[in-house]
Structure 1
Amino acid sequence: MNKFIRDNWKWLLIGILGTLIVMPALTQLLINVDTSNKGSDDGWLGFWGGYLGAIIGVAGAIFVVQIQLNEDKKGREAEKIDNTYFNLLSMHNEQKNILIGVNIFEIIYLNFKKELEIQLLDEGLDFFYSKKVIISEMLQDLLSAYKKNIENQEGKISPEFLERWKRKKRGEMFSDEYPVTEESRLYEDLCWSLIEIKEIEKFLIDVENKRINHFSDKIFKGVDGVYEELDKHIDRSRSIQWDIPDELSKLKVTLRNFQFGHIELLPNDRKRKAIELAINTYYSEIGAYFRIFHRIIKYINDKVKDEETKKDYLDFLRATINEKEMLVIFYNAAYTERGKELLKEIRKTTFFGEHQDLLENRTVQYFNSDSLIWKSEDLKIMREFGKK
């Protein structure tokens, strides 16, 4: 009733003014015009009063009936919306019960981390190749240091090891056994320098031709491989007192971060790729679930206009969803191509929480914020949801 009055107050005001002012004035005008020869004032007043009273009564009855019909119609619409919503919620729960049996949400959440590690190792290798020119220059400098060391030291080789040394320089293979002495240590150091030169030259050729493959096996592949190779050569360079460039040391630290799960180093395209791959692996099992969930959120947005009722519906839906399930829903919507339409709908709601409840220094009500992959970024995205 109150809503009807708010929506139609202009017409109601015109009707009231017409009833209280216009109609009495019109009655008086008719009496003045017609009663000079055709009846008394009291007679005409009684006639017009009864006539207008009947009109007002009928109008009032119509008005009341119309209000009642509108209220009944709204009640039926609300009941229909309720029935449809809870039917959708029932379908959603049926899908969820199937998936819970195989822990699909937990599996997908763990798969996020696996795919992100792969993307991080690949990104680390891309970073390495982006520094290819600088790395080559530094390693060429190290090669020169080894060659200079050989030039400076080979004249000190004792006659006992000189012939061995010449054969080593020619690349000959032979049994090379001898007792450990001061003379043998110099010979060994020079032999190690030869080995390092060959290995560094091979490494430089591999880098130049991009022969170091992207992630396939975590041991000695991709960024792991180049980190181990650089670390080995840097460590061995101490034998010739080579001044390790600061830039090479910093680059080695960055490569280490790519190895050890610093996913904040990933650009957005790799984040999205990892989430896409993690979900796509199981999309045949979970696709129907996402579609029903999307339908529920869209139905709430399209059909429920009252904000309190909308909040209640979202509360009912949230009550059926556990933490890992909620996180998988979020990452599907916010980071995948398939989830774009869901993202449009879920942006119109506060499904993940109110703005003030999604601050980093607050306890999030509906899930553990530490379970978010990119906590600060993800909470910021969620805080934008529900804004008008």
Structure 2
Amino acid sequence: MVKKFKIMLKGISIVLLIMIIINFGMDWCIFDKLGNGSDDGWLGFWGGFLGAIFAVVGVWWQTNKTITNEKELMFSNARPFFNLTVERDTLNLGKLYVTSDEEIGLGRKVIYLKIDNFSNKLMMKVVLKIYTKDGQTDKISIGRIEGGESIQIAPSWTHDIYKMSITDSEFNELDLKIKEICVYFTTEKGERLKLYFQNINGNIENIDSEKIVESNATKNNLNKLNEEYSNNEVFKESKMKLLKK
């Protein structure tokens, strides 16, 4: 936005400079030597000339705006619609991404995260950075989440809860340790996005989102994480357990 403003400011300055030069230049003898045109004739000529420049600039601006809008439409059509929730229940059958090798399975209530991809769009190189109230950070990396797929996620405190021997009433009183979550993922069009979630009264709500990469850089090298990670860090999928009966 700042770059576009500077370009527009330079363009306006150049046009104003040309108009000032023409205004004072009409009295120069060079115009008399070029022909017997009157001041009105020269003003008409320069007016038409500048009008043509404005017309070309207007067409360029409109074309550029159309291309930008079409590009944004292409990106937006590839963005998946998903939901990130906190579950207080027993784990379901299927994929469970974990941060520990400790035992965890079906049949016992725990607090865990769940991603439901409601769209038919693919989510690639998904990274969750989970920040807790006590200053701990868990990182979960998921290679891909298919359209219509649900993924369960067990941060470190999920394992701690699984090991507890508590009643249902005590379980219901457990505090949600999450402070905030950042979710990074790449779309089918190579656009990398970051979504920011926050714990608001025990519910995880999306607060903000932003583009990180919207060029072919991510598409051509999906192993490289976005600029918030070190350049030498490559994507490594977290451990996954397939929960079965």
Asked which structure has the greater CA Rg, the reply is 1
Q: Do the structures match in fold with TM over 0.5?
A: no
TM-score when normalising by structure 2: 0.40
Higher helix content, 1 or 2 = 1
